[in-house]
Amino acid sequence: MKNKSLSLPGGHSRPPLERMQRLHDLLSNEQPVNCQQLGKDFEVSYKTIQRDLDFMRDRLGLPIEYDATRYSFRYTEKVEAFPLLQVSEGEILALFVAQKVLAQYHGTPFEKTLGSAFQKLTGALKETVSFDLGEWGSDYSFRVTGASAADLEVFRLLARAIVQRQEISFSYQPLRATAPETRTVHPYHLANIDNAWYLLAHDPQRAQIRTFALPRIQKPGLTKKIFDRPRGFSAEKELKGGFGVFAGTGKHLVKVRFDSFAARLVRERDWHPSQKIRDVKDGGIELEMTLGALEEIERWILSWGDHARVLSPKLLIDSVKKRISTMQKTYR
């Protein structure tokens, strides 16, 4: 089967990457590069090899010329790396930022591999793109508070189970339970929410989709059972109703009033897809959201201290009052 090439502007076509990489290796090692002979070796025509070399010279900017005395092509100067990508300094900066951001998510397979991939990308750049990684490292920083302590091997096993649609069993410690419980579930999705990793999985015993915090998953193991994930499953829909992790099944219209000091801070971020903000006369704002559960929004409201006041629903008002009363007793 012939390799299909990708069309490029100007009527050019891109030769297969593997063949160009091989040509680069030969040229770098000062080995003979003869179109007739290499055409036979690669099982393509000599014109195809010629087009490959033309592409490498004209489009990738490699210093290739024909040496009539050797009947061979050669590099006129040393080439450190084959330019797999041609990207701008701005694009490399974006990759650098992405690397630093993802590196904060400890306990994932991406932390080390992303750094390795980044080095390969930057090493493959043409010399016309200049940058100083050391300088960038001092110009940008990222700080995460309360990052998830998820175990790397647990993450990898769960990721594999999701891809292979394989049932998994593990020991889990619920927050309100005194002892761990054994759960056997169908893993659907891994989600990073507020710097913590969670597994969304269907629990056949409870006939519900449940959310599990990865740091509390212990001794996971794949079973031999294969499951089918429903076509209609959507992690976005499952999490849509929640303020954080737990979506709930209710439909609560939450209204919170913030004073002028907190209003500026609240405006700076998107808190929920359903949020609406309304200005009030004293310079404050009213934030409105529709949520499926109230537990997480309650903790968030309390974190604002006396800068926030719940207007509705009554269930949330009563719960916040009770929590404040309990806190007062703690500090007596």
Per-residue pLDDT of the chain (332 residues; tens, 9 = 90+): 344 333 333 333 344 677 888 888 889 888 888 888 888 888 888 888 888 898 888 878 889 999 888 888 999 998 877 775 555 666 667 777 776 666 665 555 566 666 666 666 666 554 445 555 555 556 666 666 666 666 778 888 998 999 999 999 999 998 888 899 999 999 999 988 877 889 999 999 989 899 999 999 999 999 989 999 998 888 888 887 778 777 777 789 999 999 999 999 999 988 988 899 999 988 999 999 999 889 889 999 999 999 999 999 999 999 999 999 999 998 88
- Sequence-ordered alpha helix ranges (H) in 103-191: 110-123, 133-139, 152-164
Tokens coding 199: 């597994």
Residue type, 266: V
Q: Say whether the peptide bond before residue 187 is cis (omega within 30 degrees of 0).
A: no
Beta-sheet strand order (sheet of 285-291): 276-279, 285-291, 252-258, 308-312
Write down the domain spans for the chain: 6-75, 89-139, 162-232, 252-330
Q: By three-state DSSP, how is residue 161 classified?
A: helix
> What is the structure's pLDDT at 85?
55
Report yes or no: 44 and 52 within 8 Å, Cβ to Cβ: no
Q: How far apart are the first and last CA of the chain?
A: 80
Report yes or no: 248 and 293 within 8 Å, Cβ to Cβ: yes
Q: Say whether the peptide bond before residue 313 is cis (omega within 30 degrees of 0).
A: yes
Alpha-carbon span 326 to 319, nearest angstrom = 11
Report yes or no: 228 and 165 within 8 Å, Cβ to Cβ: yes
Helix axes 46-58, 17-28, angle to 10 degrees: 80
162-232 has which CATH code? 2.30.30
CATH, domain 6-75, list 1.10.4100, 1.10.1420, 1.10.10, 1.10.3470? 1.10.10
> What is the structure's pLDDT at 321?
95
